[in-house]
Amino acid sequence: MRKIIKHNNAGPKNSLHYWTSYVNPVRVVFNFLVIYLCRYLPSLRLKNVLYRLVGIKVGKDVSVGLMAMFDVFFPQLITVGDNSIIGYNATILAHEFLIHEWATGEVKIGANVLIGANATLLAGITVGEGATISAQSLVNHDVEAKTLVGGVPARPL
């Protein structure tokens, strides 16, 4: 199971209507601009510096491919271990807005992890050291260390 914290909705509408009650809008705009800029930057070193600036815990020698997208609302809940690769257009989320509630959860990516292109990692999951996530996978539960997973939802291959 994912390790998420559920929060009550601020009113009668769906939870996304109240996002400004949950996080500072100025901070979200800053996070968005930095993370969006990083989607196009070819420099891995500069990307990692900027990701750290928004609160993502980025280990040494991490490589984030072009077009990768990190959570703009709660980037501080994301950790990427040393020497990991996040593939082209991968998405890593640390929140989810639902109709009657919203949730947050830490995403912990271990060292030497490979996340394939177009993969999506949902809030509240841990990816163990040395794991591989194949392209176009949906990770909605923890991935054991040194395991190859793939598919929708991701399962051991």
Which value, to the nearest 10 degrees, does the dihedral of the CA atoms of residues 41, 55, 70, 93 take?
170
Residue by residue, DSSP assigns 8-31 as: E-SSSS-GGGGHHHHS-HHHHHHH
> What are 72-86's pLDDT values in tens digits?
999 999 999 999 999
* Beta pairing partners, 156: 149
Tell me how many domains the chain contains. 1
Residue 15: its pLDDT value, please? 95
Write the pLDDT tens digit of every residue in 114-127.
999 999 999 999 99
- Average pLDDT of the residues of the chain: 97
Q: Inform me whether the pLDDT recorded for 1 exceeds 80.
A: no
Q: What is the CATH number of the domain that holds 106?
A: 2.160.10.10
User: What is the crossing angle of helices 44-53 and 25-38, to 10°?
Assistant: 170
Domain with 43 in it: 5-156
- SS3 for 32-77, per residue? HHHHHHHCCCCCHHHHHHHHHHCCCEECCCCEECCCCEECCCCHHH
d(CA 107, CA 12): 29
Question: Cα–Cα distances in Å, from 59 out to 39, 83, 108, 110, 153?
Answer: 18, 7, 11, 9, 27
The predicted structure's pLDDT at residue 133: 98
